[in-house]
Amino acid sequence: MLRNKNQTKQKIITAVGGLLARDGFAKLGVNALAREAGVDKVLIYRYFDGLPGVLRSYAESTDFWPTPAEVITQDLGQPGDTGSAQIIGDIMVNLARALRNRPLTTEIMAWELVEQNELTNILFERREQWALNIIENYAFEHGQVPADLPALTALLNAAINYLIIRARTTPVFNLVEIDTERGWQRLENMIRELCSSYFSRP
């Protein structure tokens, strides 16, 4: 027993990530968390005032969501800019790849579909902010937003989220392998093709 409050708090917060990654949100409870952290559960109540408080702290301590730099690989409106369609397509493909490398975020995204809590609320806010930034950047750099950009990104983003969440437990969706690189290549190609044909429609 380390008589060190901060270190104990840290152990608890770290254990949240461990539990989520290993057993998923379904098994995340006060007892399990205390066991995982190797700490008495009373301390969860004392230091965090219960599980929601732990989640709040955990949310602040981690960055679930990809950074803008991770997703926006082109300088919009700059010399290298290869055009609207490719930019949006790139962003979506990058988002898909970034999320596929974040099993913890995936887990929380799944959670988000079942119940709302501190973690999922924060994830929600960040995503909305993220979407807003893309729209605003795009509008700013290109003068005007085409047709219904929010609807386009909402659809693609929703598809990506679903397939990534789904891939945790199922290898195939609608005849496409969602657990292999090959399958995701097909999906990425389709995302790009959809963007490019949408932006160059008559």
Rounded to the nearest whole angstrom, what is the least distance from the CB of residue 59 to a copy of itself in the complex? 17
Rounded to the nearest whole angstrom, what is the least distance from the CB of residue 200 to a copy of itself in the complex? 7
Rounded to the nearest whole angstrom, what is the least distance from the CB of residue 37 to DNA in the complex? 9
Rounded to the nearest whole angstrom, what is the least distance from the CB of residue 149 to a copy of itself in the complex? 9
Spatial separation of the C-alpha atoms in residues 157 and 65, rounded to whole Å: 13
Structural contact between residues 161 and 96, judged by C-beta atoms closer than 8 angstroms: no
Residue 31 touches which of a copy of itself, DNA, none (CB < 5 to 8 A by kind)?
DNA
Residue 2 touches which of DNA, a copy of itself, none (CB < 5 to 8 A by kind)?
DNA
Q: In terms of CB distance, is 22 or 46 closer to DNA?
A: 46
Q: Of the candidates 137, 162, 179, 192, which one interacts with a copy of itself according to CB under 8 A?
A: 162
Spatial separation of the C-alpha atoms in residues 165 and 82, rounded to whole Å: 31
Q: Of the candidates 40, 63, 75, 128, which one interacts with a copy of itself according to CB under 8 A?
A: 128
Long-range (24+ apart) CB contacts under 8 A made by 89-94 are 89/191, 89/192, 89/194, 89/195, 89/196, 90/192, 91/134, 92/153, 92/156, 92/157, 92/160, 92/191, 92/195, 93/188, 93/191, 93/192, 94/66, 94/70
Residues 49-78 that bind DNA (CB under 7 A): 50-51
Residues 30-49 that bind DNA (CB under 7 A): 30-32, 39-43, 45-46
Q: Is 20 in the site for DNA (CB under 7 A)?
A: no
Spatial separation of the C-alpha atoms in residues 55 and 17, rounded to whole Å: 10
Rounded to the nearest whole angstrom, what is the least distance from the CB of residue 202 to a copy of itself in the complex? 8
Stretch that binds a copy of itself, among 2-10, 43-51, 75-83, 149-157 (CB under 8 A): 149-157
DSSP type of residue 24: -
